[in-house]
Structure 1
Amino acid sequence: MTTVGALANPSRATGQPGPSVIDAYDLYRFYHTGDEEVLALRGVTLQVRAGEMVAVVGPSGSGKSTLLACLAGLDDPDGGRVYMGGSRISRVGERERARLRAGSLGVLLQSGNLLAHLSVAGNVSLARRLVGRPGRTPVNDLLRGLGIQERAAALPATLSGGELARAGLAVALANDPLALLADEPTGELDTSSECEVANLLADQAKRGLAVVVVTHSTALAERADRVISLSDGKVVGNDGCANRAWP
């Protein structure tokens, strides 16, 4: 059976980070609120390698979600550059950006990425059709690897919080991405489900993905290989220290 999220890179065999997957250089992002200009990102630079899980932490309004949107090609920085798998994803045409997202990126949202009228398996199949990629791993094997195969025919409304998170992750992995970006994936979960999701995301990094997660969760930050702290749109910390209370 094909391993969920497995990639042909050194990190699978060694457990060590592989080649760089996400490269962001000197990112700036401005917004306007009425007559006021808000600087959401101020010269942010980061690199995430295959097989590495990076947590982005910081208080509300620090620029975490803006950074993730720029890394995902969902928002364009006003200054700086973003590369995904060696290809530039920032400040390029929308068609090229969509192509890169479809081929390289999985995105996990707090809402779980699921359409209410489709089963778990149906959501994964639809995700593959939308990006035009059949996927290396059969849908049932993908769900089995995430421990959700017994709920393949279930509708999202019937799933528990932990099951919803697993199903959302299956959708994010449907296109066999190089990188997985998650925005507050545990924000509405209880402690048990939160730890479950933290383990699932860490497992994806161990299997070779570059994982970036924006979070307020201590459980997620403690499972990360590296923690990037943002404040007022600037990087104020970039280390692997886990045993502390994150903002």
Structure 2
Amino acid sequence: MQFKEYTTIQASSAQSSVTITLNRPEALNALSTQVVEDLEDLLGVLEAAFRHDAGGEARGVVIIGSGEKAFAAGADIREMTAMTPDQAWEYSTRMQSLTLRLESLPVPVIAAVNGFALGGGCELALACDFIYATESASFGQPEVSLGLVPGFGGSVRLQQRVGPSQARELLFTGRRIRADQAHRLGLVNAVFTDREALLAAARKTIAEIAGHSPAAVAAVKATVGRVEGRSTADGLAIEADSFRQAFTTADMREGTRAFLTKEKPAFSGN
């Protein structure tokens, strides 16, 4: 997969994963309006590629920050100080739309957090399917210390990850937590020694997922998203419908055939 050059991000594809690097190290990769614009454009490319099976071998996305200090230190405060309330609303809703598009990609998205993931940076990570982190990573929603509230999904997704009471404590205090505590809370899936090990692990996980049916992985991701927050009965009904739909796919026929004949399946993604 080929990508154009962007001002604030870098995109590359190797084997089974696409790597998106937030590239404003001088500003700790803060999420300026230009970052949002660049990510919107790139997501359009990825959505089209995965929709038309033009992603080549790519079967997942890894998001990481450039440098050693930050994944993303949050929204761009210098820009925000000059915003009117209406401009702030537009900034918030654009970023929220971007996070929803990330969640809707039919492939897994892993946030590889190296350094700070604060405010909008934490919210971007929360929009990914799961989070890996380095030992030096830290997380937080410090908006209250600036007279603000989360604007990119933190008040919604943080409590989905760690539960309402833990989320309220973090949101009300603006407290920053290290990777080991984030791991204990369930915010982070795994912790690694350094950036190199972090990126290697994220890509290895994408490669593992790539060995399975693309159609099934996409359906599981969609199903998990649809059942979240539903009652048990409603969730089970959605799951049963997804299970039924799987029986219409070529991948299901190929996977079950290969299992019975003890062969390696050749999934088409259909």
Q: TM-score range by the shorter chain?
A: under 0.3
Using the size of structure 1 for normalisation, the TM-score is: 0.27
Q: Indicate the structure with greater helix content.
A: 2
Give 1 or 2: higher strand fraction: 1
| TM-score, reference length from structure 2 | 0.25
Greater gyration radius: 2
